[in-house]
Chains A and B, each alone.
Chain A
């Protein structure tokens, strides 16, 4: 069992849970994730380890509530516990030792960027973080990222920071020159746009792929992604890959596999909350 120690709301649908997981806190590295199962009957879902405190034996999970499983998780309160956390999984980020890195975070992807930016800064790399959101209330982790260096905040509606997308701010940085590496994590269209933007500049670009996973250890193959035309498993060979080699269209497509199930699960969840039992729409098993 992994008790929830603290909880905070970072944006209207993003929550930070600090949970006990001493061994993972001790050994995790930037870029790694855990598989979390809230309790009996719950789904196994991959979540980035956004931060860790080895002394306290805790890790931070930053969760966007977009479906039933994530919504169930963020409803946990301090004192309650997550039954299963397995990890740390995935390969750690390949970091550079010197130079200037730009860390681009879109939405909840900023949580993946945070440990990368902090570790780069700790090694002496100059870090510029570019993060964005629809409007001011959707921007997360700005203060935490400031500990790694300069932060450029972009909002789609101009309500805070720079008006526009993170890619526009990145373009300016690339044009100014001297960028040795880009790390970009966010929605698939954003990672694709960043990778296309850095390609002509020849700047190495690392993206983190949020593929569908069950076990996280290479066993199910559900997370297969196409890298330079070769099938790779995001869970064990990733989750980070060279953005210039990723087939983003396939990733985006495979992420749609369970969209109708997710909608049904949310509808059932809402129905349960208001005390109704609705017949399930899913075809399927008797008994």
Chain B
């Protein structure tokens, strides 16, 4: 605590990285409660001591929303939880979410100096600790109501990009309305990411915090159907399009329309948003006993672990490349392995097999070898002749990515999109329509929660400048990782 003398560098270096306590793997494979249990305060404060407070902190550059990590870690280390919470929330609109779903190993923790020799500071776990504390202690936070600017902003979509932009714009006094197509706000945070990874009451609390800051949310409004984009942009001073990349991609092999074949979108939406994990839910979902999930991203991991929890005695990931190439977060892969998920590596599906009543019975596959790296930098899978075999399954989930949904863009002839239907923007996020900005998956193609949040934050800054009559913005744009090629339909997700 504060009355202790500061640790010497040697003492700091001697502290081992904290391990996140988890629910036992056997128990959790049969329930939907959160896997990670969170840190106790003393443990979190000790972990914060491991930070070297680098004068030039790489971790901030590694973060798509540029959280000032050493600042909140120092306040946490000193036991100033309200200070740490204020600091974190100032940079990040959804820290309870990112502390749980960010791929820290390739971002802040990936560049942490402590990782050069040993393990990086557990920044993600500490972010979650501080964010959860803030959610439990709203009275401990400082609120300064902004001066209303009188400017109105419409945000289309309430996923991570939309919520982040809404928070940033409301914070500086703009009048923000979010339009959401579903009946509940949160986008992929509520329909996609399962309860055991991101509890829905956490998302709900983040949404409620935004509403308390003045953000209005209109559910059941589909832009492109209920209103067109031109109608919206005539009604509001600025618009931010954050609708995600909503359409599922199928494998386009024979048999995909058999009963028992789901897109990951449908499977996860039924279970998460519609609550079908509860057997008494009005919304049905199939309970496969032998489930195969095609894909290697976070969405595939979410699907296969969900199937285990819904009673699958066998649940397998079918992936074209090897373990090293899995795009999923490392923690999700570890968790899936511990929960008894089987991994079929270097396997490509050829055909979905079915019985005479139209139900899926298997997946005919072939083995692959990994050749030279392709344009994505990953080794290209090539088929091995004569290696065909069948994975027996009574339920199949296709989790190989998503693509753009033309519902909105098709009603906005002036909105420029590229050949894959993703919206084109200038470096600040403005589209070909003046005052209309876009970000997240509908610009960059299927990516992660935190990259979408980075887009939301960047666009909000540019929109604020635009609404104050200065465009392009004078302040340089923060260093946001560049969009991936939109045509790379790698497995998507948080």
Contact = CB atoms under 8 A, between A and B. Distances in A.
Interface of A: 23-24, 27, 37, 41-44, 68-69, 72, 83-89, 214-215, 217-222, 224, 226, 231, 236, 250, 253-254, 256-258, 261-262, 265, 268, 280, 282-287
Interface stretch (B63-71, B73-81, B258-266, B433-441): B258-266
A222 B309 CA distance: 22
A282 B287 contact: yes
Interface string B235-278: 00000000000111010000011011011011001100011011
Given A86-B221, A219-B248, A253 B31 contact: no
Interface residues of B, number: 48
Interface in B79-129: none
B279 A258 contact: no
Contacts of B407: 217-218, 236
Given A214-B270, A221-B266, A283-B310, 6 more contacts: A44-B183, A218-B407, A221-B265, A280-B279, A285-B278, A287-B31
B311 A41 contact: no
B42 interface: no
Top 5 closest A-B pairs, CB basis?
Answer: A261-B284, A220-B266, A287-B31, A86-B220, A282-B279
26 contacts: A24-B226, A37-B183, A41-B282, A42-B282, A43-B283, A83-B183, A84-B220, A86-B182, A86-B220, A214-B270, A214-B274, A217-B225, A217-B407, A219-B265, A220-B263, A221-B250, A221-B265, A231-B256, A254-B257, A256-B358, A265-B284, A268-B280, A283-B310, A284-B277, A285-B310, A287-B31
Contact of B269 (A219, A231, A258): A219
Contacts of B32: 285, 287
A258 B270 CA distance: 13
A286 B221 contact: no
B57 interface: no
A87 B224 CA distance: 10
B203 interface: no
B30 interface: yes
Given A231-B250, A286-B31, A84 B274 contact: no
B266 A285 contact: no
A258 B250 CA distance: 21
Nearest to A268: B280
Q: Is the interface of B mostly helix, strand, loop or mixed?
A: loop
Nearest to A67: B282
A284 B311 contact: yes
Contacts of B278: 285
Contacts of B227: 23
Contact of B279 (A68, A215, A217, A284): A284
A219 to B, nearest CB: 4
Interface of B: 30-33, 181-183, 219-222, 225-227, 246-248, 250, 256-257, 259-260, 262-263, 265-266, 269-270, 274-275, 277-284, 286-287, 309-311, 357-358, 405-407
A256 B286 CA distance: 12
Contact of B257 (A250, A280, A285): A250
Contacts of B265: 219-221
A254 B360 CA distance: 12
A271 to B, nearest CB: 11
A218 B259 contact: no
Contacts of A220: 248, 263, 265-266, 269
A222 B279 contact: no
A75 B348 CA distance: 49
A286 B225 contact: no
B405 A219 contact: yes
Contacts of B270: 214
B281 A88 contact: no
Contacts of A284: 277, 279, 287, 310-311
Contacts of A86: 181-183, 220-222, 226
Nearest to A250: B257
A67 to B, nearest CB: 9
A278 B358 CA distance: 31
Contacts of B275: 41
B222 A258 contact: no
B286 A41 contact: no
Contact of B282 (A68, A226, A256): A68
Given A226-B257, A265-B284, A215 B310 contact: no
Given A218-B246, A231-B257, A88 B282 contact: no
A35 to B, nearest CB: 8
Contacts of B220: 84-86
